[in-house]
Amino acid sequence: MTGQQTARKFLVDAMLGKLATWLRLAGCDTVYNPGIHDDELLKMAVEETRILLSSDVELVRRAENQGVSSMLVRGSVDFEVAEVFRVFQVAPQIDPSKARCSKCNGQLTELRNKEREKIKDLVFEQTYDHYDIFWHCQECDNVYFQGGYWDNIQKYMERIQKIMEIREQPR
């Protein structure tokens, strides 16, 4: 890891899509576009003051030479997520009111009561009738709710917390 950065704005290279998803769900502003060339990644990191996360040694070296805050990320997805969360002090907790859209990084708007009508045509009728709270991305129209997958998300974050704790123990 190089450079000092307090904001949690990330730029993730093409090989780390799952990491980008988990950072977004944890509320971190995370740009991920697998079609962006390395030169454009570096330019964007500089212009937007983003932390570059990459599994490419050469790209991280280039970032270091340009003074871009960066981190070489390697290993299993679980280890990648845990290590980035640990290093940048991202809490392994998913709070839908703070999460970002996992697909486009847009900000989510919570919809309750009558406001739910805004997304009625974007979800199945059965889903709309069953849940009271939704989160809507105004950028891409994606809709989120705490469905059956929610327990799996919480369990995964517990797993990440355990890996982080193991990594923090003295050797």
CATH number, domain with residue 26: 3.40.50
- Indicate whether 137 and 157 sit together in one domain: no
The per-residue pLDDT for range 69-91, each reduced to its tens digit, is 999 999 999 999 999 999 999 99
**Measured distance CA(166)–CA(70) in Å, rounded:** 23
Domain span at 69: 9-93+149-168
Give which of 22, 23, 27, 10 is closest to 98, Cα–Cα: 27
The per-residue pLDDT for range 38-47, each reduced to its tens digit, is 999 999 999 9
- pLDDT for 170 equals 60
- Indicate whether 140 and 162 sit together in one domain: no
- Contact of 71 with 52, CB cutoff 8 Å: yes
